[in-house]
Structure 1
Amino acid sequence: MTQASHPVALRGVFPVAPTIFDDAGRLDLEGQKRCIDFMIDAGSNGLCILANFSEQFSLSDDERNTLMHVVLEHVAGRVPVIVTTTHFSSLQCAERSRSAQAAGAAMVMIMPPYHGATIRIGERGIYEFYRTVSEAIQIPIMIQDAPVSGTALSAPFLARMAREIDNVSYFKIETPQAANKLRELIELGGDAVVGPWDGEEAITLMADLDAGATGSMTGGGYADGIRLIVDAYAAGATEAAAAHYQQWLPLINYENRQGGLASCKALMKEGGVIHSDAVRHPLPAMHPATREGLLKIARRLDPLVLRWGH
């Protein structure tokens, strides 16, 4: 099998867009559009929707479909959009991915198949899973290598899939010691690894850039800050990139270790981007003290998110 050609590699900062709800937990599509407009204005090179930080696991299939079409139509080609199409079933994942491609997605992001704490699939099944999806589409696949799947994906196995399966060409590495894994993946996969990417809210960003990462998928609240780091690094100004990273690291760390997926919405509500920062029950609302800690750090940095809606 020959590796599909993807002449324009996606690079840079592609934050995850949160799913915007009203206070009752219903989709707020007008708020979603404002969220998307803000994220583009903040300098996002592209966006990712329906990811775990989008609370995809709390959405119905109809809601996923609605969100995908609303967002892609509203973006209208301003930036490329990655659509997460993760599903346990190979056939369902292929169908989700086909629908995403038809709607205008630039790429799909997919975790390996898993269910609950104990149902896992071996390498042969995972290989066949990604091959099935690849054969259904013509756009790139990003494999999301995240601890939430509970599935070990070795660098040699990822590199093999990159070499042998059409469209498998991007990898978001979120596992411990991500930089070492990225380095090994790049070495073993060669040109078949089009996009070795950083994830996990940029908490390992500098090490991952040093290892060869060409993209970063972060939270959606402050692409302007992450762009300072990634753009400086891409320009060869690694010391400037490190200085920017040290400046923004307290906020990155607070999101990663304290506020989690609610952080982005808290920032957006504070800045008037959205009316409600509700997460969907049974996820807990952010504790007021956590919110104040987040905002205290953010105000020192003056990101666009705190000014955009005012």
Structure 2
Amino acid sequence: MTHYTYSGIWPVAPTPFHPDGQVDMEGMKRVLDCMVDQGVDGICILANFSEQFLISDAERAALTKLSLEHVAGRVPVIVTISHFATDIVVARAREAKDLGAAMVMMMPPYHGALLKGTPEQTFEQFRRVGEVGIPIMLQDAPLSGVELPVPLLVKMAQDIEMLKLFKIECPQAAAKLRALIEAGGAAIEGPFDGEEAITLLADLDAGASGTMTSALIPDLIKPVVTAHLAGDRAAAMAQYAKVLPVVNHENRQCGFRAAKAAMVAGGVIASDFCRHPIPPLHPQTRAMLLELLQPLDPVVLNWGK
């Protein structure tokens, strides 16, 4: 089996808000501590599941500094830096590096449904971030609407030294991971998936070495990855079957609101407020989430009690 430099579970940290909509900075520290106690291999901040599209630039800067100082090297921290403007992405990469981030994550340049980076523009933006000298995770997500064919990804991996990881969460992720690994070889140092692990088993079978989930149940998803990488596919399948109903409910019904709802239930944070125009979870959706979680006894439901 191929040995990858990067593996394991590196979830996205949610951003807690007070009921008045202000960022809960003390709650952010508790989120990070809970995630470390969940046994994660790394933490990603300011991603889409962190509600980065609802956070101001000043809040971004404050959250980046707070998170890196508070984690203090206990696990690697990935800072999401996606933006359409290349100069802004490069500046965010420099800031993340200067503050001690282990890595940055970025989507290709896009803005809305019709303003999308060409292959050449995408390559150039990643190349310029690579010059900053910090490892990069490329996020191939439907949200960007940018097509990233495997030959382009392989060329980027081969020509941009700091491009190390590929988070593939497009439709048919397993097929793309398989093709990427086959064509890219050693240049693909960390093939990951995402989407709350809804396709994890197929993606691991295709050669994924890790996953970027939410902060909901990384303690229960990590054993799937660990067992599979150790060659115990039966154990991975058995554990995956246990967690799949929760993963499905999160992926299909809750989105990024699930982790915060569970963290409120477990006393990690005081509020699961989401900024407008994001609606709150419907009470029935929340109730089913907790109903599915409780028999699994995850860290998140006990951490703050």
TM-score tier by shorter-chain length is over 0.9
Structure 1, unaligned runs of 5 or more? 1-7
- Contact 2:93/2:134, CA 8 A, preserved across alignment: no
Indicate the residue corresponding to 2:70 in structure 1.
Answer: 74
- Contact 2:13/2:31, CA 8 A, preserved across alignment: yes
Report Cα offsets for 1:259-299 as digits up to 9, x if no partner: 11100000000000100011111100111010001000001
- Contact 1:91/1:133, CA 8 A, preserved across alignment: no
Which of 104, 107, 114 does residue 108 from structure 1 map onto?
Answer: 104
Structure 1 residue runs of 4 or more that deviate by more than 4 Å after TM superposition: none
SS at match of 2:105: strand
Please tell me whether residue 269 in structure 1 is matched to residue 269 in structure 2.
Answer: no
Give the TM-score normalised by the residue count of structure 2: 0.98
Report Cα offsets for 1:114-170 as digits up to 9, x if no partner: 0111111211111111111111x2121111000000000011110110001121121
Report Cα offsets for 1:14-44 as digits up to 9, x if no partner: 0100001101110101111011100110111
Which of 157, 161, 170 does residue 156 from structure 2 map onto?
Answer: 161
Indicate the residue corresponding to 1:33 in structure 2.
Answer: 29
Residues 36-185 of structure 1: pairs in structure 2 closer than 5 A: 36-135=32-131, 137-185=132-180
How many residue pairs get aligned? The number is: 303
SS at match of 1:244: helix
Give the TM-score normalised by the residue count of structure 1: 0.96
- Contact 1:49/1:84, CA 8 A, preserved across alignment: yes
Q: 2: CA distance between counterparts of 1:39 and 1:115?
A: 31
SS at match of 2:219: helix
Q: 1: CA distance between counterparts of 2:276 and 2:20?
A: 10
- For 1:73, the aligned partner's letter is E
Residues 144-293 of structure 1: pairs in structure 2 closer than 5 A: 144-293=139-288
Which of 7, 10, 17 does residue 14 from structure 1 map onto?
Answer: 10
Q: State the identity %.
A: 55
- Contact 1:39/1:221, CA 8 A, preserved across alignment: no
Q: 2: CA distance between counterparts of 1:123 and 1:230?
A: 32
- For 1:182, the aligned partner's letter is L
Q: How far did residue 10 of structure 1 move?
A: 2.7
Q: How far did residue 215 of structure 1 move?
A: 1.2
- Contact 1:19/1:32, CA 8 A, preserved across alignment: yes
- Contact 2:168/2:177, CA 8 A, preserved across alignment: yes
SS at match of 2:14: coil
Q: 2: CA distance between counterparts of 1:217 and 1:121?
A: 24
SS at match of 2:277: coil
Q: How far did residue 300 of structure 1 move?
A: 1.6
